[in-house]
Amino acid sequence: MKNNLLNTIGFYISRTQAKMQYHFLQKLKPYGVTPEQWVLYASLSEEEGISLTELAKVSLRDKPYTTRLVDKLEEKGLILRIKSNDDKRSSSIFLTRDGAKLKEKIIPIIAELNQWSLVAMSEEEIGLLKFLLNKMYDHIK
């Protein structure tokens, strides 16, 4: 029997992620938001006013990459950085009014895309998938 080098969990995860990202990009293209930028939106929806370092941690990106994403969103007028009074090297990041409006338009699209991507699975299978992926993630990190 031949060894199939593509028969790895990493390949299956990567293939699935690539297809999901493609559909994500198509849905969000009219709004000028990338998947990476959406992660920042989602993070700021959970907790506004967090630092760039905290934003990088929750978005699973390094600080220089997160800084570039924040710069682009700030140029578009979607987020705002406010310098800390205590530490001039630090700032808090907030959604602007336009950023919040755009987020509200995108949330239903993300929910629909998520629901569509999981329609082939039962609730039990979805729960098991999340459990197994989290278990793998915790082991790898």
Average pLDDT, the chain: 89
Question: Which amino acid, 98?
Answer: D
Residue 131 has a pLDDT of 97
- Please answer whether residues 16 and 35 qualify as being in contact, where contact means their C-beta atoms are separated by less than 8 angstroms: no
pLDDT tens sequence across 99-109 = 999 999 999 99
CA–CA gap between residue 60 and residue 50 (Å, rounded): 15
Residue 27 has a pLDDT of 92
CA–CA gap between residue 33 and residue 102 (Å, rounded): 9
Q: What is the mean pLDDT of residues 97-121?
A: 93
For the entire predicted model, the pTM comes to 0.76
User: 14-23, 41-50, 110-119, 129-138: which has the minimum mean pLDDT?
Assistant: 41-50
Percent pLDDT > 90 in the chain is: 57
pLDDT tens sequence across 33-86 = 888 888 888 888 888 888 888 988 888 889 999 999 999 999 999 999 988 777
Three-state DSSP at 83 gives strand
CA–CA gap between residue 124 and residue 122 (Å, rounded): 5
The CB-side HSE value for 33 (13 A sphere, CA atoms) comes to: 24
Q: What is the mean pLDDT of residues 89-118?
A: 91
- The full set of domain ranges for the chain reads 10-140
Class of the domain covering 10-140: mainly alpha
